[in-house]
């Protein structure tokens, strides 16, 4: 089955779902819809250097070691072995109705972040510091995992993560704002993702925990809408890192509630939530924050209100010795703008 046929079949199936049923399928632990013959499915699985966390499997050297081999052909073979074992495991467990976590065919690998500072703490998961080598190794692993389209069958689904500029510090990843110039974005942090999307047709992209240039990466209009879907023509699905959407209101403070966070993420094209924020989608729907038919905002026209709010905070020049979010701290921070309405009116065009 080719992608276009699969898309049409999926649209026909979703059209038969109630709003509640459709919303439930956007969770990583999607429940069964028995009346439509939809089985439960858990999207979370790992295969960074071989199948992980689900019994015995072949384990290859960590990704940093694979990168050091400078051998994309070997990397593709490793991906193919992992996919073969994945299919065997999936066939075995699903035959017994076991569709639990780490039992599916959607693998959140490879990690194509750029590793240039050992203090990050997770550099061993990457292919190293070079954008070109990372792209070549990443493309090869994706080709191995997904197969090369023989008979229009995807062997397993790969995922390019973490989009984007997720290179530490690890301890602050849930609240950190990575500031990168357009030059650094184009030369360092985005080339591998672009290559995997355009050249190896990676099925999924995972957003990072951090903010990048003021916007949270799992609700980022510039990265997700304009670049990934618009400029690069990505046709796969976007998944949040685990519990990253809850960071919007808990740590990044770009939204105030779980409902607002869920709305911001899905409006910018986050298809699957690893975490529990999308359980608030129905409440967001009832509040009018999202509709049954959701589409991303047109590029270059307006920004979601929560995004305006985040950028306004980042751009504020008024400073105070006591930040608004912590009365105990003595470090200088930007003061809270008076209101969201005032923020949007003076900084950019906000979507209604």
Catalytic residue positions? 241
What does DSSP say about strands 211-212 and 215-216: parallel, antiparallel, or unpaired? antiparallel
CB distance 259 to 242 below 8 Å = no
Report the alpha-carbon distance of residue 145 to residue 285 in Å, rounded: 37
Report the alpha-carbon distance of residue 69 to residue 344 in Å, rounded: 50
CB distance 265 to 218 below 8 Å = yes
Nearest one of 106, 104, 242, 224 to 164, comparing CA atoms: 224
Identify the three-state secondary structure at position 212.
strand
Query: Which DSSP string do the residues of 257-274 spell out, in sequence order?
Result: SHHHHHHHHHHTT--BBS
Tokens (6 digits) for 292: 């049954």
Report the alpha-carbon distance of residue 325 to residue 328 in Å, rounded: 9
148 contacts: CB under 8 Å, gap ≥ 6: none
Cis peptide before 110 (omega within 30 of 0): yes
């Amino acid at each position: 089955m080719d992608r276009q046929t699969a898309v049409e079949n999926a649209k026909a199936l979703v059209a038969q779902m109630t709003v509640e049923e459709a919303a439930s399928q956007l969770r990583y632990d999607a429940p069964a819809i028995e009346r439509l013959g939809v089985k439960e499915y858990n999207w979370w699985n790992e295969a960074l250097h071989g199948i992980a966390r689900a019994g015995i499997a072949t384990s290859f050297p960590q990704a940093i070691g694979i990168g050091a081999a400078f051998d994309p052909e070997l990397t593709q073979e490793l991906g193919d072995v992992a996919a073969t074992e994945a299919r065997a495991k999936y066939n075995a467990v699903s035959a017994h109705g076991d569709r639990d976590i780490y039992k599916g065919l959607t693998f959140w690998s490879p990690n194509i972040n750029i590793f240039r500072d050992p203090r990050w703490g997770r550099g061993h998961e990457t292919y190293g510091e070079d954008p070109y080598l990372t792209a070549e190794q990443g493309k090869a692993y994706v080709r191995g995992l997904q197969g090369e389209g023989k008979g229009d069958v995807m062997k397993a689904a790969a995922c390019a993560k973490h989009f984007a500029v997720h290179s530490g510090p690890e301890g602050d990843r849930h609240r950190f704002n990575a500031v990168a110039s357009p030059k650094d974005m184009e030369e360092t942090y985005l080339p591998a993702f672009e290559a995997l999307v355009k050249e190896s047709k990676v099925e999924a992209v995972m957003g990072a925990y951090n903010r990048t240039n003021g916007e949270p990466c799992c609700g980022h209009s510039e990265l997700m809408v304009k670049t990934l879907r618009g400029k690069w023509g990505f046709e796969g699905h976007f998944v949040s890192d685990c519990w990253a959407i809850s960071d919007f209101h808990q740590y990044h403070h770009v939204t105030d509630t779980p409902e607002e966070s869920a709305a911001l993420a899905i409006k910018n094209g986050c298809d699957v939530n690893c975490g529990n924020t999308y359980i608030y989608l129905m409440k967001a729907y009832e509040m009018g924050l999202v509709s049954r038919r959701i589409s991303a905002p047109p590029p270059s026209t307006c920004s979601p209100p929560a995004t305006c709010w985040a950028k306004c905070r980042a751009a504020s020049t008024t400073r105070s010795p006591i930040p608004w979010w912590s009365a105990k701290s003595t470090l200088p921070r930007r003061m809270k703008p008076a209101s969201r309405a005032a923020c949007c009116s003076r900084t950019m065009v906000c979507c209604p």
